[in-house]
C-alpha cells in the first residue's frame, strides 16, 4: 500500500515509517517540522535504502493541505500529527485544540475527497479515567474521556470521538484507534530516536540526558504513591514494538472503529527506570524525590490482550532492550539531530 503518514518525521512517526518501508509499503510523510527534523527522514531512508516521499505542510490549514495533496494517491492514512506537550497544552489550550482537532478534521475531509477509507489514529492511554480501586491493568472497556487533567489529553479523547462520529456518517470508514502507553527506546542502530526540544517532560528522555551529563539530576515526582516502592508506575513500550503495532493495525482494518491498547502489560516504577537505565548506560543517575506532579496517577499499565489476540501483535522487546537502545541513541547523538 501507499501510506500517508501524518507526523511521520517525529519520534514515533520516524519509527513507523521505517517499519512500513521494511514491510514493503510506500510511505508519503506529511509533516510541518514544528517539532521534528528532516534528518530523521534522511536517516530512515538510509537505514532502509528506500525513498520516503515528503510533503511539508501544516495539516491544520485545510486549503494548503488540500492543494498539497491534490495529485497524491494513497490507500490509507496513519495519523500521528499533533502537538503533544502536556504542560504547554495547559498554558496554550486554544492552540492545542485548534491544531490537534483541526488536523484530524482536515485529514478526514481530504480522505473522503480522495475516496480513502483506511485510518489508523495515534491515541493515548491518557484518555482513560484514573483506574478505579481494584483495577490493575487497563483494558479497552475501562471508562475513558473523563477525568482527563490537561487539554492535550482532551484533544486525544475528542479526536477519538470525532473519528467515531464521522464513521457513523461514513460506514465504509475503517478506523483503528491505538492507545499508546509510554513509548520509549529507539531503533537499535541508534540512528533515529526521541529528540525532545527544550527540557524533556517525560521520564525516559530526561533520565537519558542526566546519564549523558546534559542535565544534573532527575527530580522524582513523589514517592508516596500506593505502588511497590512509592513512585509512579507506567507501562513503557519499546517504540519499535509500538511501530509494529501500526503495521498490525493496518493489516486488520475493517469497517467500523476498533480501539486497541498498545502496551506491554508490565509496569515499571520511576526507581525501576533509574536502576535499569543506570545498568544499561553504566552511568550514575543522580536523583532526588520532590513533590508529586499535578495530574499524575499512581499507576497506568495496559492490559494489551485485545491487541495480542485481534491484531496478532505483541510487544516483544524487554525494558532492558529499550534502555540499551535509548542509550545507544543518546550517546551517539548527545544533542539529538541538531547537535552534530
- Interface with ligand UD1 (CB under 6 A), residue from 8, 153, 265, 267: 153
Q: Tell me, residue by residue from 29 to 48, as one string, x for binding to ligand UD1 by CB under 6 A and - for no binding.
A: --------------------
User: CB 89 → ligand UD1: shortest distance, Å?
Assistant: 9
Q: Which residue's C-beta sits nearest to ligand UD1?
A: 232
| Site for ligand UD1 contains 221 (CB under 6 A) | yes
- Of the residues 96, 152, 180, 236, only one is catalytic, namely 152
- Interface with ligand UD1 (CB under 6 A), residue from 220, 239, 276, 311: 220
Which sign, positive or negative, has the C-alpha torsion 67, 71, 76, 78?
Answer: negative
Report the alpha-carbon distance of residue 295 to residue 305 in Å, rounded.
Answer: 27
Judged by CB under 6 A, the chain residues 73 through 102 that form the site for ligand UD1 are 86
Report the alpha-carbon distance of residue 259 to residue 221 in Å, rounded.
Answer: 31
Select 61 or 88, whichever has its Cβ closest to ligand UD1.
Answer: 88
Which sign, positive or negative, has the C-alpha torsion 332, 194, 297, 243?
Answer: negative
| DSSP, residue by residue, 301-321 | -B--HHHHHHS-----S-HHH
User: CB 226 → ligand UD1: shortest distance, Å?
Assistant: 13
User: CB 256 → ligand UD1: shortest distance, Å?
Assistant: 25
Select 300 or 322, whichever has its Cβ closest to ligand UD1.
Answer: 300
| Site for ligand UD1 contains 316 (CB under 6 A) | no
CB–CB of 331/259 below 8 Å?
no
CB–CB of 293/87 below 8 Å?
no
The span of 6-14, 146-154, 248-256, 311-319 binding ligand UD1 (CB under 6 A) equals 146-154
Q: Tell me, residue by residue from 191 to 210, as one string, x for binding to ligand UD1 by CB under 6 A and - for no binding.
A: ----------xxx--x----
User: CB 323 → ligand UD1: shortest distance, Å?
Assistant: 14
What are the E-state strand segments in the chain?
2-6, 26-31, 53-56, 76-79, 118-124, 174-180, 182-184, 218-221, 233-234, 236-238, 256-262, 268-269, 287-290, 299-300
| DSSP, residue by residue, 227-256 | SSSSS-EE-EEEHHHHHHHHHHHHHT--SE
- Interface with ligand UD1 (CB under 6 A), residue from 4, 270, 274, 307: 270
Task: Compute the 3-state secondary structure of the chain and give helix, strand, coil in percent, each to the nearest 5.
Answer: 40, 20, 40
Report the alpha-carbon distance of residue 31 to residue 82 in Å, rounded.
Answer: 10
Judged by CB under 6 A, the chain residues 275 through 304 that form the site for ligand UD1 are 293, 295-296, 300
Select 55 or 90, whichever has its Cβ closest to ligand UD1.
Answer: 90
The span of 107-115, 147-155, 301-309, 331-339 binding ligand UD1 (CB under 6 A) equals 147-155
- Look at residues 65, 73, 67 and name the one whose alpha carbon lies nearest to residue 26: 73
Look up 260 and say whether it is catalytic.
no
Question: Which positions lie near ligand UD1, rule CB under 6 A?
Answer: 86, 124, 126, 149, 152-153, 182, 201-203, 206, 218-221, 232, 234, 270, 293, 295-296, 300
Q: Which residues are catalytic?
A: 152
Amino acid at each position: 500500500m501507499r501510506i500517508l503518514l501524518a507526523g511521520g518525521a517525529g519520534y514515533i512517526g520516524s519509527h513507523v515509517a521505517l517499519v512500513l518501508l521494511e514491510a514493503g509499503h510506500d510511505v508519503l510523510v506529511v509533516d510541518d517540522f514544528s517539532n521534528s527534523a528532516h534528518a530523521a527522514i534522511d536517516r530512515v531512508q538510509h537505514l532502509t535504502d528506500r525513498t520516503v516521499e515528503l510533503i511539508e505542510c501544516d495539516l491544520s490549514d485545510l486549503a494548503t493541505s488540500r492543494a498539497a495533496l491534490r495529485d497524491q494517491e494513497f490507500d490509507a492514512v496513519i495519523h500521528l500529527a499533533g502537538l503533544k506537550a502536556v504542560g504547554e497544552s495547559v498554558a496554550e489550550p486554544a492552540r492545542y485544540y485548534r491544531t490537534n482537532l483541526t488536523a484530524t478534521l482536515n485529514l478526514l475531509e481530504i480522505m473522503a475527497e480522495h475516496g480513502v477509507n483506511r485510518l489508523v489514529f495515534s491515541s493515548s492511554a491518557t484518555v482513560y479515567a484514573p483506574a478505579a480501586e481494584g483495577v490493575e491493568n487497563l483494558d479497552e472497556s475501562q471508562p475513558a474521556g473523563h477525568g482527563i487533567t490537561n487539554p492535550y489529553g482532551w484533544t486525544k479523547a475528542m479526536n477519538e470521538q470525532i473519528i467515531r462520529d464521522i464513521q457513523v456518517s461514513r460506514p465504509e470508514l475503517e478506523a483503528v484507534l491505538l492507545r499508546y502507553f509510554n513509548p520509549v527506546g529507539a531503533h537499535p542502530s541508534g540512528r533515529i530516536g526521541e529528540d525532545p526540544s527544550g527540557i524533556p517532560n517525560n521520564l525516559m528522555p530526561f533520565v537519558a540526558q542526566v546519564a549523558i551529563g546534559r542535565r544534573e539530576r532527575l527530580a522524582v515526582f513523589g514517592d508516596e504513591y500506593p505502588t511497590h516502592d512509592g513512585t509512579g508506575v507506567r507501562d513503557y513500550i519499546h517504540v519499535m514494538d509500538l511501530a509494529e503495532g501500526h503495521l498490525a493495525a493496518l493489516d486488520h482494518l475493517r469497517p467500523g472503529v476498533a480501539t486497541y491498547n498498545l502496551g506491554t502489560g508490565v509496569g515499571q516504577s520511576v526507581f525501576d527506570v533509574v536502576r535499569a537505565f543506570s545498568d544499561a548506560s553504566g552511568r550514575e543517575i543522580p536523583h532526588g524525590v520532590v513533590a508529586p506532579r499535578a495530574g499524575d496517577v499512581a499507576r497506568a499499565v495496559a492490559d494489551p490482550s485485545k491487541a495480542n489476540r485481534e491484531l496478532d501483535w505483541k510487544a516483544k522487546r524487554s525494558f532492558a532492550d529499550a534502555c540499551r537502545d535509548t542509550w545507544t541513541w543518546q550517546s551517539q547523538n548527545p544533542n539529538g539531530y541538531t547537535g552534530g
